[in-house]
Amino acid sequence: MQTTLHPTPAASSTTTGPAVALKDCSKIYGSFAALRNVSTAFNQGSVTMLLGENGAGKSTLLRVIAGLINPTRGSVQVFGSTPQQQRQRMAFMSHAPMLYDELSAIENLQYFAGLHRGPGGCACVGNPEMALRAVGLDPFLKRPVGQYSQGMRQRTSLARVLQIDPQILLLDEPFSNLDVASARQMVELLADFRTWPVAGGGHRTIILTTHQAALATELADITLTMAAGQIISVESAVGAHA
């Protein structure tokens, strides 16, 4: 499926260099280092899988990239500027569903689209109907999402972030609580998403955390493994095109 959610091209979205670069990044809570001197880069157009045991620092790394938390030391750059300056081009899908159970899928998307505003205060809204169709859901389903299956809820969450047409998609455990068939469907949706053209040029970058590495191996170009707040291994998939 080839689609784009934005009708008009964004101004000069093509940038050279990596999509995301971290230099000596640490995140300290009290006396505990959740991230320790992490330096790495994520190429534009790449799909990276972050692996590691509970508490390894995967979510912290994603949240630092998303600009939801600031590193205690070191720097993070997104397209050469701060994550906050590039927030419009990024979407973060947390493992918590972040949906209002009593609203329908389209009402949820419309509500969150209203919250996603650019630095100038303009609503940066794609197309909620198209986003729901892209994840295989009927946009006119009236049922509240509280009555959806877990797989449908996860797809609604994905549509919620896809509707803003992100160039960088950050996903924290997108396969958790999904059965094998639903997880495979999620992988296919993400594989499809990375092929969507970007308004103004460029490629889509995906960084995801998971404990189910086998599910995402076909999708991922790079596998980063973390332990105790550090990246302990980097592996490229055979035939990676990043």
**Residue 65 Cβ, how far from ligand ATP at the closest point, in Å?**
12
Residue 62 Cβ vs ligand ATP, minimum distance, rounded to whole Å:
8
Give how far the C-alpha of residue 132 lies from the chain's centroid of Cα atoms, to the nearest Å: 17
Measured from the CB atom, the residue of 72 and 110 that comes closer to ligand ATP is 72
Please report whether residue 176 would count as binding ligand ATP according to CB under 6 A. no
Select the span of 36-44, 55-63, 159-167, 180-188 touching ligand ATP (CB under 6 A). 55-63
For 36, 64, 65, 196, the CA distances from 29, given in Å and listed in that order, are: 11, 14, 17, 38
Asked whether position 86 contacts ligand ATP by CB under 6 A, the answer is no
Between 28 and 141, CB nearer to ligand ATP:
28
Q: Tell whether residue 213 is a contact of ligand ATP (CB under 6 A).
A: no
Q: Which is nearer to ligand ATP, 16 or 54 (CB)?
A: 54
In the region spanning residues 107 to 166, those forming contacts with ligand ATP, defined by CB under 6 A, are: none
Q: How far is the CB of 242 from ligand ATP (least distance, A)?
A: 23
Rule CB under 6 A: say whether 59 interacts with ligand ATP.
yes
DSSP for the chain, please give it.
Answer: ----S-SSPPTT----S-SEEEEEEEEEETTEEEEEEEEEEE-TT-EEEEEESTTSSHHHHHHHHHTSS--SEEEEEETTB-TGGGGGGEEEE-SS----TTS-HHHHHHHHHHH-B-TTS-B----HHHHHHHTT--TT--S-GGGS-HHHHHHHHHHHHHTT--SEEEEESTTTT--HHHHHHHHHHHHHHTTSPPTTS---EEEEE-S-HHHHTTT-SEEEEEETTEEEEEEEPTT---
Q: Least CB distance from residue 187 to ligand ATP, whole Å?
A: 19
* Contact call for residue 8 and ligand ATP (CB under 6 A): no
Q: Of the candidates 55, 67, 74, 197, which one interacts with ligand ATP according to CB under 6 A?
A: 55
In the complex, the smallest distance separating the C-beta of residue 33 from ligand ATP, rounded to whole angstroms, is 8
Q: Does 56 bind ligand ATP (CB under 6 A)?
A: yes
Among 7, 16, 54, 142, binds ligand ATP (CB under 6 A): 54
Q: Is 26 in the site for ligand ATP (CB under 6 A)?
A: no
CB nearer ligand ATP, residue 76 or residue 159? 76
Residue with tokens 């095109």: 241
Count, residues near ligand ATP per rule CB under 6 A: 11
Q: Judging by DSSP bridges, how do beta strands 73-78 and 20-29 pair with one another?
A: antiparallel
Residues that bind ligand ATP (CB under 6 A): 29, 32, 34, 52, 54-60
